Structure 1
Amino acid sequence: MPPLLSRQYGFTLVEIAIVLVIIGLLLGGVLKGQSLIDSAKIKNIIQQANALSAAVNAYQDRFRALPGDDALATSHVPGATGNGNGDGQITEYQLAPQHLALAGFITGSYNGSTDFMTSAQGGAVYIYNEVVAGRGGNGLRFDNLPDSFAEQIDSKLDDGKFDTGSVRATGNYTNNGTTITRTALFF
């Protein structure tokens, strides 16, 4: 009897090409999905900024004072743990969200000492008087945003430059994955 020839089986080039195309489509879908998630977070941060700005303006219209800085906050909003000094600068950043929440302008419960608002990205959010990139004043501060997020927020709300306009950042937008320590949106 002649010896049986064993036949080796493997993948053809067509099969390998099909697998590579499928892997490419999956990776493309994952990257596009991540892009959509990031875009949603940026929109959420912008909506939060607009809502907080409106809340500060409404508080100021109702009580003729800024939240946090309100010298009569304990009488304006029962339950407030402290008053501001009334100097027009929101340096009392821990009291600002408490005053807004107790007045019914934002949701949440803030104790006036250790509870902070957070952004969709997870960093702290303050209503604060601050100097960022050469500009000072009252505004909103978003901490620890990816530089691509900060740049897109700046582009959508202002001029897209980190050191000019009403949106300022503590660092240049490099789009290399660095974190911007502070991004301020001045009123």
Structure 2
Amino acid sequence: MKKQSGFTLIELAIVLVIIGLLLGGVLKGQELINSAKVKNMASDFKNIQVYIYGYQDKYKALPGDDASANAHLGSACTTAPVTTCAAANGTHGNGVIEGNWNDAAAADSEAFRFWQQVRVAGLAPGATNNADANYIPRNADGGQIGVESVSQLTTITGMTGAFAICSDAILGKFAKQLDVTLDDGETSTGSVRAVVSNTSGAGVTTALINDSLTYTVCMSF
């Protein structure tokens, strides 16, 4: 008669404990990655405010709206490949960052020109040539980041303040965490609000945010 072999209860228990530890490590690692993404996105919103205030303090003008950018930024702004820091916009210098925060190629858009001017001024990292493939800044999930004046913002209605920073393609679960980190935790009110990506209108309430959908999050200040 052959002796049957197999795992003992102790061996099975050990295997289950090891599997549990491995799963716990994976989940914890993912949690840390998600937390790092939210912190990175929150930093984007805070840094753009620094770019605006730093540029205003130094040149007494708004980046993107600076009618004298070529004079302010000197040879760095007039030498190839950066040749047009001052956009050909008839309303340049009126204290408004005109154009849409997500303009991707409009050379006369002040929102698009914003990035060139803050970078040439040494306030922000990134490509200064607006034809560069990496000119448009992206968040940790690859969504576009931009800024425009609240007075003309249509992505999210009802926001107050002078300027709005918007960041797109943000998962719902991150949008909620961003609102908790930067504002009041309610994505339909306050200075931070969210709408479903590629839509516009009033902010979506936190209770209706779908963790697996992507959203555009805007912060006004």
TM-score range for the pair, normalised by the shorter chain length: 0.7 to 0.9
Alignment of structure 1 residues 62-101 onto 2, 5 Å: 62-78=58-74, 79=77, 81=84, 82-83=86-87, 84=89, 85-90=92-97, 91=99, 92-101=110-119
State the match for 1:31 in structure 2.
27
State the match for 1:112 in structure 2.
130
Q: Secondary structure at the match of 1:89?
A: coil
Alignment of structure 1 residues 1-187 onto 2, 5 Å: 5-78=1-74, 79=77, 81=84, 82-83=86-87, 84=89, 85-90=92-97, 91=99, 92-112=110-130, 115-129=135-149, 130-131=153-154, 132-135=156-159, 138-170=163-195, 171-173=204-206, 174=209, 176-180=211-215, 182-187=216-221
Instruction: Give the Cα separation in 2 of the matches to 1:183 and 1:89.
Output: 21
Instruction: Give the Cα separation in 1 of the matches to 2:3 and 2:189.
Output: 71
The code of the aligned residue for 1:151 comes to K
* Gaps in structure 1 of 5+ consecutive residues: none
CA deviation digits over 1:39-89, x for unaligned, max 9?
Answer: 112112222322221111111222222111222222222425233522333
Instruction: Give the Cα separation in 2 of the matches to 1:112 and 1:150.
Output: 29
- Say whether the 8 Å CA contact 2:64–2:117 is kept in structure 1: yes
Instruction: Give the Cα separation in 1 of the matches to 2:130 and 2:23.
Output: 46
* Gaps in structure 2 of 5+ consecutive residues: 78-82, 100-109, 196-203
The code of the aligned residue for 2:212 comes to G
Q: CA deviation at 1:161?
A: 1.0
The code of the aligned residue for 2:27 comes to L
Q: Secondary structure at the match of 1:100?
A: helix
Instruction: Give the Cα separation in 1 of the matches to 2:10 and 2:210.
Output: 38
- Say whether the 8 Å CA contact 2:171–2:211 is kept in structure 1: no
Instruction: Give the Cα separation in 1 of the matches to 2:144 and 2:129.
Output: 15
The code of the aligned residue for 2:19 comes to I
Alpha carbon RMSD of aligned pairs, Å?
2.0
Structure whose alpha-carbon radius of gyration is higher:
1
Q: CA deviation at 1:166?
A: 1.0
Q: CA deviation at 1:111?
A: 2.4
Q: Secondary structure at the match of 1:25?
A: helix
Q: Secondary structure at the match of 1:43?
A: helix
Q: CA deviation at 1:175?
A: 5.2
Q: CA deviation at 1:133?
A: 4.3
CA deviation digits over 1:79-101, x for unaligned, max 9?
Answer: 25233522333222211011000
Q: Given the two structures, how large is their TM-score scaled by the length of structure 2? A: 0.74
Which one has a larger percent strand, Structure 1 or Structure 2? 1
CA deviation digits over 1:121-173, x for unaligned, max 9?
Answer: 32211122323143265221111111121111111111111111111111444
Once the two structures are overlaid, the 10-residue window that deviates more, 71-80 or 162-171, is 71-80
How many residues of Structure 1 are paired with residues of Structure 2 in the alignment?
A: 182
The code of the aligned residue for 1:23 comes to I
- Say whether the 8 Å CA contact 2:148–2:163 is kept in structure 1: yes
